[in-house]
Amino acid sequence: MIAEAGLAALWFAAALALLQLALTAFGLAGGKSDLLGAVRPVAVAQGVLTAIAFIALIALFLRSDMSVLLVSTNSHSAKPWLYKFAGTWGNHEGSMLLWVTVMGLAGAAVALFERALRRDTHMATLGGQAAISLGFYAFLLFASNPFARVTPAPQDGQGLNPLLQDPGLAFHPPTLYLGYVGLSVAFSFAIGALLTRNVDASFARAMRPWVLAAWVLLTLGITAGSYWAYYELGWGGWWFWDPVENASLMPWLAATALLHSVTVLATRDSLRAWTVMLAVVAFSMSMVGTFLVRSGILTSVHAFAVDPSRGTFILVLLAFYIGGALALFGWRVGAVREGAQFQMVSRETMLVINNLLLTVILGVVLIGTLYPLMTEAFGHKVSVGPPYFDRVAGPIALTLMLAMAVGPLMRWRRDQAGVVARRIAVPAAIGLVALVTLALTVGRTIGVLPFAGLVIAAGVGVASLAPLWKRNLLRTPLFTWGMVIAHLGCAVSVAGMAADSAFTQEKLVAARPGDRIDAAGWTIVFDRILPIAGDNWTALQADMTVSRGGGTPVAIHPQSRFFTTPPTTTTEAALLTRWNGQLYIVLGQEADQGRWQLRIWWKPFVTFIWLGGALIALGGVLALIGRERRGWQHKWRGRRVEA
């Protein structure tokens, strides 16, 4: 019954999306503007229906209703409730339902809360949102129905892939999806603005909070995913430049560029066509990423349900939406004036440089990811991996950091180079001190890129705080705080990446219980190894006590886990976090004569990577609250004056 209700809700939602599209089309193009009054309620109803469908699927998973095919193939009644719940989106159909639910809710939010946009543009935006949703409803209903029944219902389910049974599953995919799909709002805004020829500063101010919100969620999703991969894979790495990771990075890069260009458009009424382009690109990258991941055309370490026929369906959606949007852009944007030109020394110039560099990184990641496909069309197999991306994206990203240090210290419109130089003097001096200190201490033992990363992180970290200099901190607007914290987060993150790559120490040993191992200043006593049993796994667990410099010993327990359905072995690394780094121990295979292979890392300041990510997201949240609050204050004051 619940399954049928969920399916019915989906069909109704799809019908409403069609209605929403028709209403906006006839209302705007056919001149029947009285139809437009119905658009917003329809959008809200559509959002509610998708939420009902999603809740229905969650209920089916929680109740372990094995007569539903999706539940029986992906769940098991004996699973902890958290994984039953999170397992809802731990599969293709469920995650696509999450996708349309986010899309429906985002559309409802735009209908309910968007007040700043011109009415016709608002309606065209909702029309655009409905048009995109329709394609994904079709995909769900015709090619990935999550509510299909199976007869006879099996006794019990096949279980969730044990690899996914981690709290990370509850957090990482939903935030990432909220971000991915949240960018569809910016996409629809761009479509709406192009259709109604309304690209200006007020449009940018209206779009900004939506972009910010999606960007914050995307940042959180990527940060969480990176940490999940880091502790689960047991390789000690936090980013592999794998196609699936690149697929999540590309929308983020586009959204970050968009976030900055939309500010230029809002403040100076310039970069109109460019901002619209970025809004189209950001969501396009989300869709391309989904296609790359689901179609299986690229090999990845991240296992996904791969199905070429579904790939074809998504490809058609891509052709339709991205192709359509880019064609609309080409057709309409000729009439959009790009706006005022800039003085060389001004904040807008720095923001343009930001956009330029972010777009180049995006281009490099995209080309690098697709390059093996291109060469294979010529019968030549190649691999493009971390060495390429690090070498190419690394220096560009560090240059971008420099622009990030200087940009916020410049005035809009025009500034004087000498004055800017004075403002940047202290951070530059800090950077110089870091440079000299590093050169004298570690010198040439670390690579050029990590070296530059540490120096730049030091300088930029200080520079990012400089906008607060000599200001009354209580009266500093919240969105300025947001910018400062997000930029500081970038510096913190880069410091973590550089420290990890420069100073990580690795030790491989084959040890027997009773052995003492010295690694990177730590003393590790391998006490014993013993089998233990968990919920649906058994494991070999190593009990160890570790201490540093005569400090209190701490017990840690790396494991090697065995699952039977399907037969898999996973490593559960033991992580010990200290303020200045993490000790990371992996229990490997039995080597010989009762000795066990251990992989031990000491990773100085590695946690800064994700701490920085969290700061970036926090900065985004503060900026969002700050902007919205100011908007409400203005409105409230305006109303009071009128009264």
Partner 1 sequence: MKRLMIWLPLALFLGALVLFAGRLMQPDDHLVVSKLVGKPLPVFTLPPAASDRAGLTSAQLATGKPRLLNIFASWCVPCAAEAPQLMALKQAGVEIDAIAIRDARPDVDAFLSRWGNPYTRIGLDARSGVQIALGSSGVPETFVIDGQGHIAHQHIGDIREDDVPKLLALLERAK
Partner 2 sequence: MMRILAFLALLLAVPVHAQTALPPALYADRQIADPALEKKASELMATIRCLTCQSQSIADSNASMAGDMRSEIRQRIMAGESPEHIRGWLIERYGDWVSYQPTAAPILWPLWAAPLLLLALGAFLMRGRLKRGEKR
Q: Which of 279, 97, 99, 287 is nearest to 188 (CA)?
A: 279
Instruction: Tell me how far apart the alpha carbons of residues 584 and 546 are, in angstroms, rounded to a whole number.
Output: 11
Subset of 244-273 contacting partner 2 (CB under 8 A): 244, 270-271
Q: Of the ranges 238-246, 316-324, 507-515, 547-555, which one interacts with partner 1 (CB under 8 A)? A: 316-324
Subset of 177-196 contacting partner 2 (CB under 8 A): none
- How is residue 338 written in tokens? 């790009």
For residue 211, the one-letter residue type is V
Confirm or reject binding of residue 569 to partner 2 (CB under 8 A): yes
For residue 494, the one-letter residue type is V
The count of C-alpha atoms lying within 13 angstroms of the C-alpha of 40, restricted to the half-sphere facing its C-beta, is 12
Residue 610 binding partner per list partner 2, partner 1, none, with a CB distance cut-off of 5 to 8 Å that depends on partner kind: none
Confirm or reject binding of residue 333 to partner 1 (CB under 8 A): yes
Subset of 590-609 contacting partner 2 (CB under 8 A): 591-592, 597, 599
Helix (H), strand (E) at residue 544: strand 538-548
Residue 141 binding partner per list partner 1, partner 2, none, with a CB distance cut-off of 5 to 8 Å that depends on partner kind: none
Pick from 30, 154, 308, 395: which binds partner 1 (CB under 8 A)? 308
- Residues binding partner 2: number (CB under 8 A): 83
CB-CB contact of 614 with 489 (8 Å) = yes
Report CA 639 to chain centroid distance, whole Å. Answer: 39
Helix (H), strand (E) at residue 179: helix 168-195
Pick from 41, 118, 153, 302: which binds partner 2 (CB under 8 A)? 302
| DSSP per residue, 383-394 | ---HHHHHHHHH
Residue 529 binding partner per list partner 2, partner 1, none, with a CB distance cut-off of 5 to 8 Å that depends on partner kind: none
CB-CB contact of 506 with 600 (8 Å) = yes
Return the SS3 of 511.
strand
Instruction: Tell me how far apart the alpha carbons of residues 327 and 334 are, in angstroms, rounded to a whole number.
Output: 12
Confirm or reject binding of residue 171 to partner 2 (CB under 8 A): no
Least gap, CB of 489 to partner 2 (angstroms): 23
Return the SS3 of 32.
coil
In this structure, the dihedral spanned by the alpha carbons of residues 135, 307, 92 and 290, taken in order and rounded to 10 degrees, is -60
Cβ count near 90 (within 10 Å): 22
Residue 297 binding partner per list partner 1, partner 2, none, with a CB distance cut-off of 5 to 8 Å that depends on partner kind: partner 1
Residue 438 binding partner per list partner 2, partner 1, none, with a CB distance cut-off of 5 to 8 Å that depends on partner kind: none
Residue 26 binding partner per list partner 1, partner 2, none, with a CB distance cut-off of 5 to 8 Å that depends on partner kind: none
Instruction: Tell me how far apart the alpha carbons of residues 66 and 74 are, in angstroms, rounded to a whole number.
Output: 10
Least gap, CB of 352 to partner 1 (angstroms): 16
CB pairs under 8 A, 24+ apart, for 475-480?
A: 477/626, 477/630, 478/622, 478/623, 478/625, 478/626, 478/629, 479/622, 479/623, 479/626, 479/627, 479/630, 480/626
Residue 327 binding partner per list partner 2, partner 1, none, with a CB distance cut-off of 5 to 8 Å that depends on partner kind: partner 1
Q: Which of 192, 33, 218 is nearest to 116 (CA)?
A: 192
Subset of 360-389 contacting partner 1 (CB under 8 A): 370, 373-374, 376-377, 381
Instruction: Tell me how far apart the alpha carbons of residues 62 and 391 are, in angstroms, rounded to a whole number.
Output: 47
Interaction pattern, residues 73-92, with partner 2; x per rule: CB under 8 A:
xx--------------xxxx
Pick from 162, 179, 209, 407: which binds partner 2 (CB under 8 A)? 162
Looking only at the bridges linking them, the beta strands covering 574-578 and 581-590 are: antiparallel
Pick from 89, 187, 283, 329: which binds partner 1 (CB under 8 A)? 329
In the β-sheet with 581-590, what is the strand arrangement from edge to edge? 505-511, 596-604, 581-590, 574-578
Interaction pattern, residues 221-260, with partner 1; x per rule: CB under 8 A:
----------------------------------------
Q: Of the ranges 3-11, 110-118, 314-322, 433-441, which one interacts with partner 1 (CB under 8 A)? A: 314-322
CB-CB contact of 146 with 97 (8 Å) = yes
Of 40 and 561, which has the nearer Cβ to partner 2?
561
Q: Which of 210, 146, 131 is nearest to 4 (CA)?
A: 146
Q: Which of 627, 585, 577, 582 is nearest to 604 (CA)?
A: 582
Confirm or reject binding of residue 386 to partner 2 (CB under 8 A): yes
Subset of 490-509 contacting partner 2 (CB under 8 A): 506-508
Pick from 7, 52, 277, 583: which binds partner 1 (CB under 8 A)? 277
Least gap, CB of 26 to partner 2 (angstroms): 38
Pick from 8, 109, 164, 333: which binds partner 2 (CB under 8 A)? 164
CB proximity list for 120: less than 8 A, separation 6 or greater: 28, 196, 198
Least gap, CB of 459 to partner 1 (angstroms): 35
Confirm or reject binding of residue 303 to partner 1 (CB under 8 A): no
Least gap, CB of 512 to partner 1 (angstroms): 24
Confirm or reject binding of residue 344 to partner 2 (CB under 8 A): yes
Of 107 and 339, which has the nearer Cβ to partner 1?
339
Q: Which residues bind partner 1 (CB under 8 A)?
A: 273, 277, 281, 284, 288, 291, 295-297, 299, 308, 311-312, 315, 318-319, 322-323, 326-327, 329-330, 333-334, 370, 373-374, 376-377, 381
